[in-house]
Amino acid sequence: MDSITALLEGFATAAQPAYLLYALLGVTLGTAVGVLPGIGPAMTVALLLPLTYTLDPTAALIIFAGIYYGGMYGGSTTSILLNTPGESASIVTALEGNKMARAGRGAAALATAAIGSFVAGTIATVLLTLLAPTIADIAVTLGPADYVALMVVAFTTVAALLGSSPVRGLASLGLGLFIGLIGTDTLSGQQRFTLGVSTLADGIDVVVVAVGVFAVGEALYVASRLRHGPIEVIPVGGKWMTREFWARSWKPWLRGTFIGFPIGTVPAGGADVSTFVSYAAEKKLSKKPEEFGHGAIEGVAGPEAANNAAAAGVLVPLLTLGLPTTATAAVIVAAFQSYGIQPGPLLFTNNSAMVWALIASLYIGNVMLLVLNLPLVKMWVKVLQIPRPYLYAGILLFAALGTYAVNFVVDDLIVLLIIGVAGFFMRRHGYPVAPLVVGLILGPMAEEQVRRTLQISEGSLSALVTSPFAAVAYSVLVVLLAVAVVVRVRRKKAETLV
């Protein structure tokens, strides 16, 4: 087994003291931004991009991977202890976990979330280790038309299938694709949509866009409707190390893992879908379904595991195909590109040492996260209580700093402000921001692959669909769309009946 030797070498690299520190930094930051409302992993990675140019790529990517995993852990603490809906991936946790905390069983809810995340994260990382090299081997044989097909699938699912309004999702995708077009065309050297402004000739930096929509847009939006008054954190109560705790948790953890990982791997859902599926499964399998809605521990254990397994699953298409299916994954692709590395099938041959050190650091990061989120959970409760004026002022300050640090020009801050205001209005009117970021990063890659396909076929459009792999991908997409339409219609019927 080549990959096992490679993984052991990866561990040898990732276990060096310096890299361990970078991993610790990443997971700590990740948990903090996961706990805090208003900032998420996507924005944090984007903000740190300019600051990590001086690090070697392996160190930077270990930090980013830590932030990515850490954000998933931190989110659950918030949704269990704050009585308000949190980021979409952990809403289901809020349903049961919040009820448990109110009933004085907060410790058990936090523990099942943290241990479940650890179990799922570790198993899913093992699956990633086993699957990724094989998929990369297959992916090497894919041609440009196949990549176009994969990207079309990713675009459609991210924009149209997730979220409540397909039209607004697609509009957001379109805006992202448009921003991606601004600048100098790589193939012909022509300037496009620059309006003759020299700052725009190099294109708009991904960091500026991501920080604009996530940080500035979010801060303005929250400010417009800030919840005033004290922050109500439910005190952590109860014991968790009971026989009942383990007996009721371990099966949902495993089921959540095997529901979440595949959903994360295929570009068709990301973390949110997996938590809903897991929740529904646990409710159906439970011997006491009447407890659901009143603080059933299975309803925390399963979705939390699914959430983390899906996050690891997202790394499979990211590392082997260079295909991001969530906003955070898209920003990580941008991070790879800033180091001149293109994630994709060749990553495992060209940057083998780096990618295995990264995977090894995921195992290490999971152990660190378990410690950070189980015995040290009280620390995060304090973080949760940061007064909101300072929190959002800090977000704006670091957003401006991160943007300015990209090129040290004030023009970027003007672009940041414009994109931030756009992000504000998008949030007000239900336009999801994730498709914009995915479109921005995948758009230029998609254009290049389309043009390569058509150059090879001498302009014949049929080349885009005649490759067997592409044909299969488009058929799967059609089936997915059909299923989505059916589900939507049924849900509407159910709603009108109620």
Partner 1 sequence: MISGKISAKVEEYVFGGLVAAIGVFTLLDATTIAARADNAVGPRAFPYAVGVLLVATGVAAIIATARGKLGQAEEGEDVAVDSRTDWVTVGKLVAVLIAHLVLIDLVGWPVAATVLFFGAAWTLGAVWWRALPIAVALALVVQVVFASGLGLSLPAGIFEGVPFLDG
Of 328-387, which residues contact partner 1 (CB under 8 A)? 387
Q: Please, what is the minimum distance in Å from the beta carbon of residue 376 to partner 1?
A: 21
Site map 184..203 versus partner 1, x via CB under 8 A: -x-xx-xxxx----------
The answer to whether the beta carbons of residues 83 and 234 sit under 8 Å apart is: yes
Q: Say whether residue 462 binds partner 1 (CB under 8 A).
A: no
Please tell me the count of residues contacting partner 1 according to CB under 8 A: 78
Q: Please, what is the minimum distance in Å from the beta carbon of residue 460 to partner 1?
A: 9
If the CB atoms of residues 33 and 318 are measured against partner 1, the closer one turns out to be 33
Task: Please state, in angstroms and rounded to a whole number, the distance separating the CA atoms of residues 300 and 311.
Answer: 17
> Which residues in the 208-227 window bind partner 1 by CB under 8 A?
216, 218-227
Task: Please state, in angstroms and rounded to a whole number, the distance separating the CA atoms of residues 155 and 170.
Answer: 8
Coil, helix or strand at residue 187: coil
> What is the chain's alpha carbon radius of gyration, rounded to the nearest angstrom?
22
Site map 82..121 versus partner 1, x via CB under 8 A: x-xxx-----------------------------------
How far apart, in Å, are the Cα atoms of 23 and each of 74, 357, 363? 16, 11, 10
Q: Please, what is the minimum distance in Å from the beta carbon of residue 78 to partner 1?
A: 6
> Which residues in the 36-75 window bind partner 1 by CB under 8 A?
37-38, 50-51, 54
> Which residues in the 227-266 window bind partner 1 by CB under 8 A?
227-228
Of 10, 77, 3, residue with least CA distance to 358: 10
For residue 457, the 8-state DSSP code is T
The answer to whether the beta carbons of residues 364 and 377 sit under 8 Å apart is: no
φ and ψ of 82, to 5 deg: -100, 145
If the CB atoms of residues 368 and 436 are measured against partner 1, the closer one turns out to be 436
If the CB atoms of residues 54 and 141 are measured against partner 1, the closer one turns out to be 54
First to last CA, the chain: 56
As given in the structure block, the two tokens for residue 47 are: 């903000």
DSSP string, 31-96: HHHHHSTT--HHHHHHHHTGGGTTS-HHHHHHHHHHHHHHHHHHHHHHHHHBSS--SGGGHHHHHH
Q: How many residues does the chain have?
A: 498
Q: Say whether residue 393 binds partner 1 (CB under 8 A).
A: yes
Q: Say whether residue 405 binds partner 1 (CB under 8 A).
A: yes
Site map 159..178 versus partner 1, x via CB under 8 A: -----xx-xx-xx-xxx-xx
Q: Please, what is the minimum distance in Å from the beta carbon of residue 338 to partner 1?
A: 15
Q: Please, what is the minimum distance in Å from the beta carbon of residue 94 to partner 1?
A: 10
Among 198, 458, 494, 498, binds partner 1 (CB under 8 A): 458
